Amino acid sequence: MRTVVLGKESPLTVSAVGLGCMGMVSAYPPIPEKKDMIRFAREAFEKGETFFDTAEVYGPYTSEEILGEALHDVRDQVQIATKFGFDIQNGVSVGLDSRPETIRKGVEGSLRRLKTDHIDLLYQHRADPKIPVEVVAETVSRLMEEGKVLHWGMSEVSIRTIRKAHSMLPLTAIQNEYSMWYRDLETELLPVLEELGIGLVCFCSLARGYLTGKLKRTEFSSQDVRSGMPRFSSEKALCANQDLLDFMQVQAAKKGCTMAQMALAWILAKRPWIVPIPGTTKLNRLEENIGAASVEFTTDELKSLNEKLDQIQIYGARYNAQQESTVEK
C-alpha cells in the first residue's frame, strides 16, 4: 500500500489507510472473541495495513492487548497510535483526566499491553478542562525525551488549543471525525492544519457504517454506540440522508469501485496529509477498505464530487448532548 506522511516538523510515515481498533472490543455488538481479533489484526498487517489506531479506554485495555499479541514480532514494521485522557476505575471510564501522573501511568500501561518500548503516535483523547494544555505538552515532551513516545497529537480539540499546543511541542497529527457526511472541519480546521503542517487522521470515515450502503437497520441495541446518536436514532434522519447514499451509489458505479472505497478515496484525495482509519472486524471489509488506496480522482472528478456534496443537506446531529460535551469548542 502507498504511504502518507503526517506532520512536517515531526513527520511520521504511515499506510494510506489505517485500521481503527475500537470496534474490535466495543461500540458495535456483537463483539468478536479476543483470539479472533488477534488473528484479524495480524491479517490486516499481512494485507498491507501498517497503521493501527487504539486507546487505553477501548475495552478498556483489551484493544491494546490485542495489538500487542498480534504485532509484537513485527513491531518495527508497523506504526501504533494510542491515546490517554480518561480516568479509568475498576475497568470503567469515569471522566476526563489528563493530570501528568495519569498520563504517565497510562503510557506505562499502554507500553506493557502493546508489548513495546515506544508509542509511535500518542494522542490526548479529549481535552481536560481542568488541566492546561501547557501541562499536557510538558508531560508528553518528557515522555518523548525518554524515548517512550515518538510523536504526539490531539483529538477533537479547538483550533485555539491546537495552536497553543503546537507552539510548545510540534504536533504530528490531529484526529477528528471526517467523512462525506460530516464535513464541518473543512471551513476552519483544514486550513489551520495546512498552515501549521499537521496531519489529519479521520475516524468514522465511513460514518459508522452508513456510507457503505450496507446498513439497513434503523434500530440498534442499547449497547451499540449508534443507538444514542441523532443521525442513527432518528428514522427521519436516516431516511432524509438517503440522498447522499443514492448519489454515492451512482458515482461509485461510474468509478468501478464500491461506495466504501469511494468514500475513503475521496478523503485521501482531499489533502496529501490526511489518513482515514476505518474500523472493521471482517476480512472482506478490510480488503475492500485497503482497495480504496488504489482509487484515484482527476481534478475535474473531485471538483464535481465536491460541488454535488455541497448541495446535499445532511440531517441530524452526529452526537447527543452528553457525547458532544467532551468535544472542546
Is residue 91 situated within a structural domain?
yes
Spatial separation of the C-alpha atoms in residues 160 and 282, rounded to whole Å? 39
Q: What is the pLDDT of residue 34?
A: 98
List pLDDT tens digits, range 32-63: 999 999 999 999 999 999 999 999 999 999 99
Spatial separation of the C-alpha atoms in residues 110 and 113, rounded to whole Å? 5
Q: Is the pLDDT of residue 117 over 90?
A: yes
Spatial separation of the C-alpha atoms in residues 99 and 137, rounded to whole Å? 11
Q: How far, rounded to the nearest angstrom, does the alpha carbon of residue 231 sit from its chain's CA centroid?
A: 19
List pLDDT tens digits, range 238-292: 888 999 999 999 999 999 999 999 999 999 999 999 999 999 999 999 999 999 9
Is residue 7 situated within a structural domain?
yes
- Give the residue numbers spanning the domain of 124: 3-209+265-296
Q: Is the pLDDT of residue 217 over 80?
A: no
Q: What is the pLDDT of residue 216?
A: 73
Is residue 138 situated within a structural domain?
yes
Q: What is the pLDDT of residue 183?
A: 97
2-16 average pLDDT score:
98
Which run of H or E residues covers position 253?
helix 242-255
217-238 average pLDDT score:
86
Is residue 44 situated within a structural domain?
yes
Is residue 240 situated within a structural domain?
no
Q: What is the pLDDT of residue 240?
A: 87
- Average of per-residue pLDDT values in the chain: 96
Which whole-number Å values give the CA distances from 265 to 26, 269, 281, 294, in the listed order? 26, 6, 20, 8
Is residue 204 situated within a structural domain?
yes
Q: What is the pLDDT of residue 218?
A: 67
Cell of 214: 450496507
Query: How large a percentage of the chain has pLDDT more than 70?
Result: 99
Residues marked active site are found at 58
What is the domain count for the chain?
1
List pLDDT tens digits, range 133-186: 999 999 999 999 999 999 999 999 999 999 999 999 999 999 999 999 999 999
CATH number at residue 205: 3.20.20.100
Is residue 223 situated within a structural domain?
no
pTM above 0.85, yes or no: yes
Is residue 235 situated within a structural domain?
no
pLDDT band at 27 (very low <50, low <70, confident <90, very high): very high
105-128 average pLDDT score:
98
